[in-house]
Amino acid sequence: MTKSRKPNGDSTIYQAKDGRWHGYVTVGVKDNGKPDRRHVTRKTRPEITKAVRDLEAKRDKGKVPKAGQRWTVESWLTHWVENIAALTVGENTIDGYRVAVYHHLIPGLGAHRLEKLEPEHLERLYAKMQKAGSSAGTAHQVHRTVRVALNEAVRRKAITENPATIAKAPVLDETEVEPYSVEEVQRLLLEAAKVRNTARWVIALALGLRQGEVLGLQWEDVDFEAGVILVRRGRLRPRYKHGCGDRCGRKPGYCPKKINTRRETKSTKSKAGKRPIGVPEELMKLLAQHKETQDRERVRARDLWVEKGYVFTSEVGEPLNPNTDYHRWKDLLKAAEVRDARLHDARHTAATVLLILGVPDAVVDAIMGWEPGKSARMRRRYQHMTSPVLQQTAAKVGGLLWPAGDQTSRAPSAVDGPDQMAPSEVQPSNDPVSPRAVVFVAKVGQQLVPFRLHEHASALVDQWNTERPGLSAQVEVWDEARWEAEGPGGSRAVRERESDQRVVFHAYAAFRPGGERVDLSLPEQWSVAAWDFEGDVYTDRSASWRTARRPGPEQLVEAQVRGIDKSAVAAAFVEAVEQAVDRARNPGKFGDTSDW
C-alpha cells in the first residue's frame, strides 16, 4: 500500500529525537516568492496541536504579522516619524509628531515589542503623563500620534491590530474661549500704538488672521488701491542646527553661528486659506504709515538690512520669529492690563465680531479662511453670545409670537414706538428686522445719531437743546432703506439704548526737539461733558494717554491724556509728559525720524 502524502502547504506536526513536538504552518508567501512557513514548538502533542490550530486560525483571519524585522515600539516609531511621516506631512505637523514620539512615547513605551503592545500600556502612559503635570490636551496629542503611527504599522502588516484604536484617551473638554470685549480691544490697540509693528496687532484683532498668516505677509500681498490683503502663505517656525560643529555647548537655537534648516514660509494649509480680505480704510492708512516707518528703519540699518519684502520684520529686515512674536503679545497684554489669553484668541474676537454684526456666513468663512465642510462647526465654536445679542434675539422671537397688530395678546412695552406720529411719517414695526422698520435719527449739530426707539432719540434731542441752545437739534424719521443708503455706519450704527454722557477730563502738553515745553497760552488740563458718539472727546476709561510726534517742520511732540477719573488723569499726565520729553530728546529711540 502506497503511503499518502500531505498536500503542499498543509500544516505539519512531528516529534523530534529530543522528545519535543514541532509544528510548521504555511501562512503566506515571502517577498522572494517562497512559502512563508512558521515554526512553533511545545512539550506535548496536545499542546503543539493547539498551537498549530491557533496559528492556522490567525492565518485564516489575516492576523499573522508579516515575516521580517521584529519591531520594538521605539524602532517602529523612529522609522515611522523619520522615514514615512516626514515625507508626507507639513513641517508643523511633523514637529508635533516628533515631540510626541521622542518626549513621551519612546521614553514611556519604547522597550515593548510592537506586537505585544496592549491598550492598557497606552492608558497607563496617559495617566502617568497627567500625573506628572501634562495637560489632557498633551495626552490627547500623544494618543493621536501613536494611533496614526500604528495604523501605518497595521497597513504594512508589521502588526495585525492597532491597540491605540481600543485604548481610551483622556477626556478632552473643548474650552469655551471668551473673546475680548470692545473695551479690552480698545485698551490693547492703545498699547499697540506705542510699540513697533503696531499694525501687526490691529490686523490680528480686526481681521482675525492666524499668526503664521500675519507674519508671512509680504508687501506684494497688499493692494493699497483696492484696499485688499491677499493671504497666501504662512510663516514657519525656524528649525536650527549648529553652525559651529556643535562646539559651543549650547542648544542649536542658541548657537552663535546657528543655521536655519527650514524654509521661511509655506503655502496656506488649504484652498480656503488662500483668500483676499477687504481691509477697512483706517487699517490701510495704518499699513501705509507702517511702510513709511519700515523705510526709515531700512535707511538706518544700511548694510545690515536684509531685503525680503515682508510686511512685519525685525530691525534689520528679517521676518519675525513666531516665538518672539508670541512673547510680544504677552507683553502687550500686561501693558494693557487685560486678562491673559493665547495669541490665537485674538482670532476668536475678530470672528465673534463678524458673526454678531450679522455678516453673511459665506463672507465670514471667506474672511476667516474656513473650509466649507468645516465652517458650520467653526462658526459654532467662534460665535460667543453676549447679553445684547441674546436680548435682540429675544425681541425678534417676541415679534414673531406677538405681531404688531395683535394688541389683545400682549401688554404695552417699552419697545413700542410713540403713541402718535405725523401722518407723513412711517409707522414703526416692533420687529427690528421687519422691512417696515424705521430709524429715529437724532440730528444734533452735525451729528446723525440713529435709534431704534423714538423715546431715546427724543431724550437726546431734549438734553442737547438744554445744554447747547445755540445749536439746532431735532428728531427725523427715516425708513430702513434710506438709512442704509445715506446713514453713516449702516445698520450697525443703529442704537438699541440711550446715549451715554460723561464728564471727561483732558490734559495736553507739547514739547520742541530737545525737550523744551511749548507755551500754548491755554490750560493744560480741562473737562468737558461728552456723548459717546463724540469719539474725539469721549471715553469711558478712568485714564488713557499717548504721545505722538506732530507732522510739520517744528517736529513737536505731544502728550495727550483723557479719562473720567480726575486724579487718574493727573497721574497719567505726569507719565505722558515724561515719555514726551524723552521722545523729544531721543526721536530715534521711538523710530520717529532718521534725521536725528
Query: What pLDDT shows up at residue 370?
Result: 56
- The pLDDT tens digits of the residues spanning 404-433 come to 444 333 333 333 333 333 333 444 434 333
Q: What are phi and psi of 236, to 5 degrees?
A: -95, 150
- End position of a domain, from candidates 328, 361, 378: 378
Domain presence at residue 3 = no
> CATH number, domain at 213?
1.10.443.10
Q: What are phi and psi of 164, to 5 degrees?
A: -70, -20
Query: What pLDDT shows up at residue 534?
Result: 84
Query: What pLDDT shows up at residue 67?
Result: 64
331 and 456 part of one domain: no
Residue ranges of the alpha helices (H) in 468-526? Answer: 480-486
Long-range contacts of 532-541, Cβ-Cβ distance < 8 Å, separation of 24 or more: 532/499, 532/500, 532/501, 532/502, 533/447, 533/449, 533/499, 534/447, 537/504, 537/506, 537/562, 538/502, 538/504, 539/502, 539/504, 539/563, 539/564, 540/183, 540/500, 540/502, 540/564, 541/183, 541/186, 541/187
Domain presence at residue 171 = no
Kindly report whether the global pTM for this prediction surpasses the value 0.85. Answer: no
Query: What pLDDT shows up at residue 393?
Result: 37
Domain presence at residue 91 = yes
- Rounded to whole angstroms, the Cα distance separating 486 from 481 reads 9
505 and 483 part of one domain: no
56 and 204 part of one domain: no
90 and 225 part of one domain: no
Domain presence at residue 433 = no
306 and 328 part of one domain: yes
**Which parts of the chain register pLDDT below 70?**
1-9, 31, 65-69, 173-179, 182, 268-273, 345, 347-437, 592-596
Give the residue carrying C-alpha cell 471667506.
366
- End position of a domain, from candidates 352, 378, 404: 378
| Active-site residue identified among 39, 43, 63, 241 | 241
- End position of a domain, from candidates 130, 165, 200: 165
Query: What pLDDT shows up at residue 530?
Result: 87
470 and 351 part of one domain: no
| Active-site residue identified among 80, 370, 464, 538 | 370
| Active-site residue identified among 80, 180, 382, 538 | 382
Query: What pLDDT shows up at residue 414?
Result: 32
- Rounded to whole angstroms, the Cα distance separating 471 from 70 reads 91
Is 402 part of the annotated catalytic residue set? Answer: no
- The pLDDT tens digits of the residues spanning 255-313 come to 877 888 778 877 766 555 577 877 777 778 889 999 999 998 888 888 888 899 999 99
Is 5 part of the annotated catalytic residue set? Answer: no
Domain presence at residue 446 = yes
Domain that holds residue 118: 73-165
Is 347 part of the annotated catalytic residue set? Answer: yes
191 and 289 part of one domain: yes
Query: What pLDDT shows up at residue 143?
Result: 95
Query: What pLDDT shows up at residue 120?
Result: 95
212 and 316 part of one domain: yes
Is 452 part of the annotated catalytic residue set? Answer: no
| Active-site residue identified among 210, 232, 258, 562 | 210
The one-letter amino acid at 449? V
Domain presence at residue 399 = no
221 and 339 part of one domain: yes
Domain presence at residue 390 = no
228 and 161 part of one domain: no
Domain presence at residue 172 = no
> CATH number, domain at 91?
1.10.150.130
134 and 80 part of one domain: yes
476 and 350 part of one domain: no
Is 344 part of the annotated catalytic residue set? Answer: yes
| Active-site residue identified among 344, 468, 512, 589 | 344
Query: What pLDDT shows up at residue 446?
Result: 80
| Active-site residue identified among 187, 232, 233, 347 | 347
Domain total of the chain: 5
Nearest to 457 by CA among 472, 439, 445: 439
Query: What pLDDT shows up at residue 277?
Result: 78
Is 370 part of the annotated catalytic residue set? Answer: yes
